[in-house]
A and B are shown apart, each in its own frame.
Chain A
Amino acid sequence: MTAYPRWKIALVAIVMLAGILLASPNLFGEQSALQLAKDQSAVVDADRVAVEKLLASKGVPVAGSFLEHGRLTLRFPTAADRAKARAVISAGMPNEYTIALASASRVPTWMRDLGLTPVKLGLDLRGGVYLVYQVDVQAAVKQELERYDQDFRASLRNAHVPYDDVRVDYPDNRVVVIFRDAASFAKGRDAIENDNRTVNFGETTVGKLPALQLTLTPQQIQQRETYAVQQNIVILRNRLNSPELAVSEPQVAQQGADQIAIQLPGLQNSAEVKKILGKTATLEFHMVDETDNPFEAAQTGQIPLGTKLYYTRHKRPVLLKRDIVVTGDQLTDASFQPNTQEGPAVSVSLDSRGAEKMLRNTEENIGHMMAVVFIDRSSEKNAAGVQVVRKKEEVINEATIRGVFSNNFQITGINPIEGRELALLLRAGGLAAPLSEIEERAIGPSLGQDNIDKGIHAMVFGTLAAFVFMAVYYKWFGVIADVVLAANVVLLTALLSLVGAALTLPGIAAVVLTVGMAVDANILIYERIREELRAGVSPRTAISAGFERAFSAIFDSNVTAAIAGVVLWLFGSGAVRGFAVVLVLGIATSMFTSLMGSRALVHIVFGGRRKIERLPI
């Protein structure tokens, strides 16, 4: 036999050792666990000690614990122990932690510290909720146009330029400012352009009146849409990671151009989470119009210039000035205060721009009233099946400004549940565009376990059948092939653990198929060796010819399968992608093991002998 280079054998050995190490965390299995998080700060080691001490004092066994991402994970021997622990912690340390149910691997701490973790299981295997939201990107564009509308009015008012109307022309994506005559047009144009230097304006006429128009370019529209989707992803992530929700390991990812897919492993009831996720609630601060009568305006429908009619939650009309003092975007922090002198409150902090505006406003308006408007947009289908955005605006609080304040103050006039929710939503930020749910898949834990059992059965029996067949049909070479197949499964597991790709049931199917592919490569080689032997070639030459000549066939056939896999990876979503990931990785490992691993093993077994009379093939 032509000598097989030492470095290749060494490479195979190193890869295999690394593979075994990376795959080993999967041997430990999982246990019921609790995840503890704190409202404001990260959980630290002292907290861990305190919690474990409390549990020990009540006789609840803890199997292990670790801190990760500011959360404490505690493992328990049984689900019953976990239930007991949960009760003990919430009774012994009330309101200190929010507690989420989870499952955690039994991997020892030193392995975890090295970054060795088991393969993640997909939702179909561990149970959980998969949600897909459609981002209403058109609404985001509309909001942008409305913002220009507001800005233009403000510019004209500040410059004291009279105008006829400012209109958002939505389907054409433009804002039109209509003037009464050419003189005010020229002045108004200067004022508006001065305040909006980055956009280009055009001239037009409405009726016979001169008008200034701003049309969003397709690029601007696209930019706005992309921004809306990305901003929403960030916001959803913030909301899911907020301790009030107690969701363990949520995943948020963009899907396609304008969809967001969310995975919530282990979650059983999606109702509460969905209530928070879809919320677009935000706040606006306006000054109250104290000179006009809101009841009269509500009755006659005649709204005084520069004001807008709102209602309180008790359906009382209020007239507010159109100018916004501060919006929810300018909030940097919000926290819920259950017991203040004026009942439940949310204390908020503003960013510097908001703080400055608030400071100026309160300085100018001491003794006047300011109102807080709660705005909630939701996207839903109307009777005709068309997606419409419903905007609910309510005045939640009106108060007289008693003193000057800027970046820190409290909002009162809300009940405790709303207060907690409002604080969460304000802290996470407002959605840039409304969301509507278009897909939901919820898998119960029993089905997940069932899927695992079935997947493992299929894998064990499938692999076993292939192993027995190979050993019987190709004798000792078959046994070598079996070792190589096992190595392939180990390497594939290692790669999956390393990449962090989630294993789904179709993924397990792909593992089984990969075994089939790896068998195929080995059969190609062995059939070739047999052919060479039949042609009367010496065993040594037959072995090297077998490996060499089978190479192009193995290479070609794996490339075509890999093409199918990569396409699936690119186009697929959810379960299909889980299949594709494993298929592509499996092709890589099976090429490596059957071409290099198998050859190295054959060399080790047969290469040392001086003379081979007959090959056991």
Chain B
Amino acid sequence: MEFFHKVTRFPFMHTRKVWYGLSAVLIVGSLVLVAARGLNLGIDFTGGIVVETYFPTAPNIDRLRAALAGAKIADAQVQQFGSARDILVRLPPDGNVKGGEIGTRILDLFRPIESGVTLRSTEVVGPQVGEELFIKGAWALAATLVLIMVYVLVRFTPKLALGAIFAVLHDPICVLGFFAISRMTFDLTAISAILAVIGYSLNDTVIVFDRVRERARSARRLPVAQVIDESINQTLSRTLMTKLVTLLVVLALLIFGGQTLHSFSAALVIGIVAGTYSSIYISAAIALDMGLRTDDLLERRIAKPEEVDGLP
């Protein structure tokens, strides 16, 4: 079986203004959404208490809320978690509440409503931890971006690196926009997903660039726009195939992985789609507009990995 029996000839570079427009809308839209609506931060970042309970039959949430209010547990959010029988109680941070105690206390309040209720998990995160994890997460993102930029700069030309960097920034911003619009909980696993997205997105871009470099060497006479177009078209089959398989796999995580992995897998789905788009339409186009010439790609021949590293 083969979807792309012949090499396609899509004029990606010719139409790039259109894709720039689309990307601008996506990025600006995402940033505005994040600024206006904010992210629904999980207790990893805000600090607080989350108690997860399981009911053999779906309970009436209003009765649960009333039970908590009656016991003077203020500001308790009660919500379903995955199914109607999984009930999550979320409380704001409180310096002196101890995890084991609040869990059993809530269980005692719920028991008169449904005797079979069980405690699934209790999480208590102090406010200072939340702040710390947030800062650590931000540092991790920044460090990844910087290191990847350095790597691309070393392996490719500065102009291509700029294109790659733009693509790398483009995708996590789209993921953030998705979190803002869906109100999905943004927690530590979401940060890991974003880092994985950065890795994946760059992966595609690097493969396109790798081909551009190779192609530029074999066809020196061709205008660089045509080299880029041909390279993207030649790698299109591979790009779409791998992303299809990865999406299949991530969809399995989304469907079967349960609530814990839900925001993680959703972030990956969005990130993979955005990453595929940006590496096909945006990254090389930016390098072209930065004034990329065939010569830029030739002078780095010495650094070719085949000549440095041994072959497998």
Binding site for B on A (CB under 8 A): 8, 124, 132, 134, 256, 269-271, 274, 380-381, 385, 437-444, 446-447, 450-451, 454-455, 457-459, 461-463, 465-466, 469-470, 472-473, 475, 505-506, 509, 512-513, 515-517, 519-520, 523-524, 527, 530-531, 534, 547-549, 551-553, 555-565, 567-568, 570-576, 579-580, 583, 595-596, 599
Contacts and interface: CB of A to CB of B under 8 A. Distances in A.
Contact of B189 (A441, A473, A575): A575
B146 to A, nearest CB: 9
Contacts of B211: 553
Q: Which of A442, A473, A564 counts the most B-chain CB atoms under 10 A from its CB?
A: A564
Interface in B245-290: 245-246, 248-253, 255-258, 260-261, 264-265, 268
A104 B172 CA distance: 42
B242 A531 contact: no
B199 interface: yes
B123 interface: yes
Given A274-B98, A444-B118, A571-B143, A557 B202 contact: yes
A451 B120 CA distance: 11
B44 to A, nearest CB: 9
Interface of B: 1-2, 7, 52, 54, 95-96, 98-101, 103, 118-126, 128-129, 132-133, 136-137, 139-140, 143-144, 147-148, 151-152, 155, 188-189, 191-192, 195-196, 198-200, 202-204, 206-207, 210-211, 214, 234-235, 237-238, 241-242, 244-246, 248-253, 255-258, 260-261, 264-265, 268, 304-306, 309, 311-312
Given A469-B245, A512-B252, A571-B136, A438 B265 contact: no
25 contacts: A134-B128, A440-B98, A441-B123, A447-B54, A458-B256, A461-B255, A473-B1, A505-B260, A506-B261, A509-B261, A509-B264, A513-B250, A513-B268, A519-B245, A519-B246, A527-B241, A549-B214, A556-B305, A560-B202, A563-B148, A564-B195, A564-B199, A568-B140, A570-B143, A571-B140
B151 A385 contact: no
B241 A473 contact: yes
A561 B210 contact: no
A567 B195 contact: yes
Contacts of A553: 206-207, 210-211
A564 B253 contact: no
B33 to A, nearest CB: 25
B246 A516 contact: yes
Contact of A451 (B191, B241, B260, B265): B260
B100 A506 contact: no
Contacts of B309: 555
Contacts of B100: 269-271, 274, 440, 442
Contacts of A458: 252-253, 255-257, 261
A475 B1 CA distance: 8
B122 A556 contact: no
Contacts of A385: 95
Contacts of A571: 136-137, 139-140, 143
Contact of B206 (A274, A451, A557, A562): A557
A74 B268 CA distance: 43
Contacts of A444: 118-121
B270 to A, nearest CB: 15
Nearest to B236: A527
